[in-house]
Amino acid sequence: MIRRRLAGSYISSVVSIALVLFLLGTTALLIGGARNVTDFFKESMRVSVILSGNASEDDARQYKAAVDTLPCVRESRIVTREEGARQMKDMLGEDFLDIFEDVPIPVSVDVSLKAEYVSADSLEKVLPLLEASVVDEIEYQQAMVEKFSSNVGTVSAVLGVVALVLLFISFVLIANTVRLDVFARRFNVHTMVMVGATRSFIRRPFLWRSVLQGFVSALLAAALLCLSVWLVFRIFPGLAGIFDVHLMAATAVLMLGFGILICVVSTWFVVNGLVSLDKSKLYV
């Protein structure tokens, strides 16, 4: 009867810890995914390099080849005169270019920068690298860059505070769960104290049990998280690029390490308290 009750207590504690770790892992995944979303929008911003009016497409190809070697460039694409004319017609109407005998749209190159270079300070150093003799003008969405630069720090700070609060709540919940589970075995601890067992000897089986408890809970939480992400991908396939394999693996490692650490630390303090607990308080 007692063994069955202890087994039920162990299972319930594993499930409780797994749910808390699942919540923590979900938050960590969302924080990591938010950074990927920010990087995605940053890399979607194009720097339009307009070449001089007499520049040919061969000049554009040579310029593109030179630009692609820069460490700050993610990719680049040539916009021909015909493509530029179609874009102008879409924006200004079909009759806009009819008044010109020749197409006045120059050849241009759209440059996509790596996310870490899309900031007001970095662009001041990057834009001179894009200048060349065939370049007439460089245009970019300055307002969007400044908005990214001003908001990313605020969003990161808010997410950091949320993560710290959730980390504290997770610590308290897991610690209480482990404390209740170990306290259910207080009579075993008291018996070992009465026969003269040392504290380290008493702690050892509880600590190994807590490691296993944290490991199993983390595996269960990781399985739930993977299942949830898979369901999200089935419903929203476009999100597959945000939650990549590396982010999922890092989140799983975080849950595993945090689960084991909290279980071991909590067990250490609870067992030490039980060893010195007065016999009259065993029945409280």
C-alpha distances out from residue 70 to 2, 73, 111, 138, Å: 70, 6, 11, 16
> Which residue matches tokens 């530029």?
84
pLDDT at position 80, please? 78
Q: What is the pLDDT along the chain (284 residues), one digit of tens a residue?
A: 445 655 556 677 778 788 888 888 887 887 777 777 777 777 777 888 888 878 777 888 888 888 888 888 888 888 776 776 666 666 555 555 555 555 567 788 888 888 888 777 777 788 888 888 788 888 877 666 666 656 666 766 777 787 778 777 777 777 777 677 667 777 777 777 777 777 777 778 878 888 888 898 889 989 998 898 888 878 877 666 677 777 888 888 888 888 888 888 888 877 777 766 665 555 55
Same domain, 12 and 118: no
Query: Last residue of some domain: 140, 167, 187?
Result: 140
Same domain, 184 and 270: yes
Which residues is 49 bridged to in the sheet? 109, 138
Same domain, 61 and 24: no
Query: Last residue of some domain: 140, 170, 197?
Result: 140
Same domain, 63 and 184: no
Same domain, 130 and 249: no
Same domain, 19 and 101: no
Same domain, 16 and 155: yes
Same domain, 104 and 26: no
Same domain, 29 and 50: no
pLDDT at position 198, please? 77
Helix (H) / strand (E) element for 108: namely strand 108-113
Same domain, 184 and 71: no
Query: Last residue of some domain: 100, 118, 140?
Result: 140
Q: Is the dihedral of CA 18, 155, 73, 80 positive or negative?
A: positive
d(CA 131, CA 148): 24
d(CA 108, CA 158): 40
Same domain, 250 and 277: yes
Give the structural domain span for 105: 46-140
Q: How many domains does the chain have?
A: 2
pLDDT at position 143, please? 64
pLDDT at position 97, please? 52
Which residues is 152 bridged to in the sheet? none
User: What is the side-by-side strand order in the sheet with 46-51?
Assistant: 73-79, 108-113, 46-51, 135-139
- Asked whether the whole model's pTM tops 0.85, one would answer no
Q: Is the dihedral of CA 179, 184, 189, 190 positive or negative?
A: positive
Same domain, 34 and 166: yes
**Of the candidates 212, 217, 165, 208, which has an alpha carbon nearest to the alpha carbon of residue 17?**
217
User: Which residues, 6 or more positions from 22, have their beta carbon under 8 angstroms from its beta carbon?
Assistant: 221, 224, 225, 255
pLDDT at position 2, please? 46
